[in-house]
A and B are shown apart, each in its own frame.
Chain A
Amino acid sequence: MVREFLYPEYEVFRNAGRCNSCRRCVTECANQVHYYDDKTGAMAERNEACVNCHRCVAYCPQKALKIIKSDHCFKANANWSRHTIEEVYRQADGGGVLLSSMGTPLDFPNYWDRLLLNASQVTNPSIDPLREPMETRVYLGPKTQEIRRDSRGRLADNRPKRLELSSPILFSAMSFGSLSLNAHTALAKAAQALGTLYNTGEGGLHRTLYPYGANTIVQVASGRFGVHKEYLAAGAAIEIKMGQGAKPGIGGHLPGYKNVGEVARTRMTPDGSDAISPAPHHDIYSIEDLRQLVYSLKEATDYQKPVIIKIAAVHNVGAIASGIARSGADIIAIDGFRGGTGAAPTRIRDNVGIPVELALAAVDRRLRQEGIRGNVSLIAGGSIHSSADVAKAIALGADAVYIGTAALLAMGCHLCRSCQLGRCNWGIATQVAELSRRLDPEEAAQRLVNLVTAWTHEIKELMGGMGINSIEALGGNRLMLRAVGLNEKELEILGVKHAGE
C-alpha cells in the first residue's frame, strides 16, 4: 500500500529535444528508473525508484537529463512536514525500524561555520607558504614524558611507538562490506601516496591490501570480524571501535545478502550470515576491562602498534575520554553525531549524540585540566567539510581529523544516502560486481590524493596567515579562533572568545 501513499520525491526531467533514446541511462541505473517504452517509442521513467544519485545525469551523452525535486505537496502544515508524514506511512506499512545511510541531513547547528580563524596584521607577520617551509607533519601517540640519557650523556630514545602523518588528515573507518573492494583499494593507495592512513573499519582486511599495511589502521569492533594475529600485525595501528557518531549506542548489522563471497571470507564469518556487531563489547564493562583489551592487543603485537579508541561524541564525553586516556590507549578518536554510516536506524542517526566541535573542545579541556593531555592524541571526525574545518578542529584541540564523507565524495559519491540498498551506481557502497567495477581504484585514489593535497595546501595558507609555520603550534591554540553568533554557554564550552573580543 505504501507505494500508493508515497509520491516520488524526485522526478527525472528528460529534454525530449536532446534525448536520442540511446539508452545509456538504462544501463547506468541499477535502480531501473529508465526504460524504453515500445508503445510511445520514447524513453520513459519510473520516478519512484530514483534515489537522485546523478549517475544517469553524469553519463547521458546528450546531457538530456536532470533530476528535479518534486513540487508535489501535502496540504500546508507547519507541524507535520511531508517527510514526517511519509515516515509514518512507511512504518505503518512495514512495521520496522527506519533505516538510513550517511550522516544526518537535518538542520542542526554547525559550529565550524560559527568559528573564524585569525590572521596576522603588522606584528608577527604572516608567512608565505609558497616561499617558506611549512610543517604539516603530525605524530599521533603519547608525548614522551621524560628525557632520558644513557651513561655517556647521549639522548636515549624512549619515545613510544607513534604514527607519523604528512598531513593531519586520515581516512576514517569504513568497512569492506559497506564499501566495495575497489573503494577500499582506492583509500589504501591514496593513504600510501599521501603518507597518511586509512582505516579498515570492522570488516577485516582483504588479502590484496596487506601490502598497504604501513598506511592502514586495523579496526577491532565488538564482533571481532576478521581479527587475527596476522591482521593485527599488518596494520600500523589498531583501533578499538567503542562507538560511532552516526549511531551512538548501536552496533552494526551487515545484512547476510551483503556478507557473501570475499566479504564473508575477509570477515571470517559464514557466507550469507548476518554479520552482527552488537552495541557493547560484551567483555568491556569498565575502563579496567577496556584496559585489558588494549593490553591484550599490545601484548599480541609486541607494543609495536599504537592503540586508538574510537568513541561517539555523547554527553559526558570529557569524563569518558579521561577514563580512556588512563586505559593505556595512545589515541582517542571522537566521532561527532553528524558522521556518516553505511546504514543506521534513522531515529538514532538523527537524535543521538552531540556535535563533534563541542565534544572535542570539552575533551581537550578536561584532559588538560587533569594533566593527562600528553598521554594521548586526539582525532576528531564526524563531518569535516573542508580544510578550514581541519584547521579549526586543530585549534580546538585535535591532533588530526578523520574524513569519511568527504573522501567518499572525492571518489564520486553523490550523497544520495541510499548505501543501505546495496545498489550504489557509483560502485562505492555495493558488492554487486557489475557496479563495483565502475569505480577505478587508480582514478579514485588519484582524486583522494588531489583532495588531501589541496586541503593540505589550504591549511598551510591558513597557518601562514596566522603567522604559524608548524601545525603543532596551532594545536589547541584557541586564540586563533573567534566565534560569531554563539551564546555565552557555547563560547564557554568551546573555550573561544566572541569575534571582536
Chain B
Amino acid sequence: MRIDAAQLDFKELNRIIKSAADQEILIENCLGQRYIAGGLAGKTVRIFGTPGNALGAYLDGGKIIVHGNAQDAAGDTMNDGEICVYGSAGDAAGYSMRGGRIFVRESIGYRAGIHMKESRDKAPVLVVGETTGHFLGEYQAGGKIIVLGLNCPADQSPVGPFCATGMHGGRIYIRSNTLLRHLPPQIIAAEAVEEDMAEIREELEEFSRLFNVKMEKILDRTFYVLKPDSKNPYKQLYVLH
C-alpha cells in the first residue's frame, strides 16, 4: 500500500497504517507526523521523508525503514521488530527498549539507548554508524549498544560526555582509537577481545549489509567494550531505618 502523507495529520496517517490489510506499506512525503507505527507488529513500513517524534514507540514486531532522518524518541519502549534509519536519529532513541534492533546509518542525539534492558527471552540492540550525543546508555540495564564512529576523525571520541552514567547491565561497544575519558567509576572499560567481537559479529555484518559499508572498514579500528561492575549500584546507598 502506498500512502501520500503530505496532507495527512498524524491521527489519520496512523489510522490508515493500522487498518491497512496490506503488510507492506510505503509512506511518501512524510512531513514530521508523530507516533508512526506506534505499537505496530507484523508490518513493514517504508518511509520517504521525515517521520516525527516517537516513531515506532512500543513497536512489537515488523520493520520500519526510514529513507531520511528520524526525529526524537524513535523506538521508545520498543519490544520487538526492527527500525532502520538511512540517515540520523534524534534524542532518546531506543528509550527503555527491551527487544528488537535499531540501526542508524549516521548519527544519533542525546540520551540514546537509555534504560535499555533485557529479560530472559529478549535483548535489544542499537547500532549507530557515526556518532552519538551525551548520556549514551544512561541507566542501561541490558542489551547491546554499538557505536561505530565511521567518518569520525581518529583523534575524536564518537561518543559524547557522560556515557554509561548509571549503567548497571548490558554492554556498550565503541569503535575508536582511544578509550573514552571520564567514564563513571562503576564502568569497567577494556579493549574488545575476540570473545567480545564474536558477541557483535552478527550485528556488524547486518550493519555492513544494510548500509553497504565494507566489513574491513568497520573492523579497521579498535573496539572498546564498556560494562558495569555491578548490577546492584544502589546497594551501598542506604541505611535501613
Contacts and interface: CB of A to CB of B under 8 A. Distances in A.
A229 B98 CA distance: 12
Contacts of B35: 295-296, 299-300
B169 A273 contact: yes
Interface string A218-229: 000011100111
A282 B115 CA distance: 10
Contacts of B237: 96-97, 253
Contact of A96 (B76, B138, B239): B239
A282 B91 CA distance: 10
B168 interface: yes
Q: Label chain B's interface by main secondary structure.
A: loop
A501 interface: no
Interface string A256-270: 100000001101111
Contact of B39 (A90, A97, A229): A229
B232 A256 contact: yes
Interface string B130-152: 00000100110110000000000
Interface string B117-141: 1111010000000000001001101
Interface in B95-114: 95-96, 98, 111, 114
Contact of B38 (A224, A276, A296, A346): A296
A272 interface: yes
A270 B142 CA distance: 7
B18 interface: yes
Contact of B34 (A230, A292, A302): A292
B117 A269 contact: yes
A238 to B, nearest CB: 11
Given A96-B238, A273-B169, A292-B73, A283 B231 contact: no
B168 A276 contact: yes
A100 interface: yes
A296 B76 contact: yes
A351 to B, nearest CB: 14
A178 interface: no
Counting chain B residues whose Cβ lies within 8 A of the other chain, the interface size class is 35 or more
B119 A300 contact: no
Contact of A223 (B96, B111, B135): B96
Contacts of B217: none
Contact of B231 (A96, A227, A273): A273
B111 to A, nearest CB: 5
Contact of B239 (A98, A227, A276, A295): A98
Contact of A299 (B39, B118, B120): B39
A275 B235 CA distance: 12
Contacts of A271: 120
A87 interface: yes
Contacts of B118: 269-270
A269 B170 CA distance: 11
Nearest to B120: A265
A327 interface: no
B233 interface: yes
Interface string B42-78: 0000000000011001101000000000001100110
A196 to B, nearest CB: 27
Interface in B191-241: 231-241
Interface core residue of A96, A253, A278, A300 (most chain B CB under 10 Å): A300
A224 B75 CA distance: 13
Interface in B17-49: 18, 34-35, 38-39, 41
A228 B238 contact: no
B119 to A, nearest CB: 4
Contacts of B91: 283
Given A224-B115, A270-B169, A283 B239 contact: no
Contact of A283 (B60, B72, B79): B72
Contacts of A255: 232, 234-235
Nearest to B236: A96
B159 to A, nearest CB: 17
Interface in A197-251: 222-224, 227-230, 232
A282 B77 CA distance: 13
A346 B114 contact: no
A282 B234 contact: no
Interface string B164-175: 001011000000
Contacts of A229: 39, 41, 58, 60, 79
B117 A270 contact: yes
Interface in A288-313: 292, 295-296, 299-302
Contacts of B168: 273-274, 276
B56 to A, nearest CB: 10
B62 to A, nearest CB: 12
Nearest to B122: A268
Nearest to A233: B39
Contacts of A295: 34-35, 54
B241 A296 contact: no
A300 B239 contact: no
A95 B237 CA distance: 8
A374 interface: no
A161 to B, nearest CB: 15
B241 A274 contact: no
B92 interface: yes
Count chain B CB atoms within 10 A of each CB in A256, A275, A283 and give the residue with the most.
A283
Given A99-B240, A274-B232, A232 B141 contact: no
Given A90-B241, A96-B238, A227-B96, A270 B141 contact: yes
A276 B166 CA distance: 9
Interface of B: 10-11, 14, 18, 34-35, 38-39, 41, 53-54, 57-58, 60, 72-73, 76-77, 79, 91-92, 95-96, 98, 111, 114-115, 117-120, 122, 135, 138-139, 141-142, 166, 168-169, 231-241
Given A229-B79, A278-B139, A299-B54, 8 more contacts: A224-B77, A224-B96, A228-B77, A255-B232, A282-B95, A296-B35, A300-B58, A420-B240
24 contacts: A90-B241, A96-B238, A96-B239, A98-B239, A222-B115, A224-B77, A228-B60, A229-B58, A232-B39, A232-B58, A253-B234, A268-B98, A269-B117, A269-B141, A270-B142, A273-B169, A274-B232, A274-B234, A282-B95, A295-B34, A296-B58, A299-B35, A299-B38, A420-B240
The 7 closest A-B pairs by CB, nearest first: A300-B39, A94-B239, A224-B96, A96-B239, A299-B35, A273-B231, A99-B238
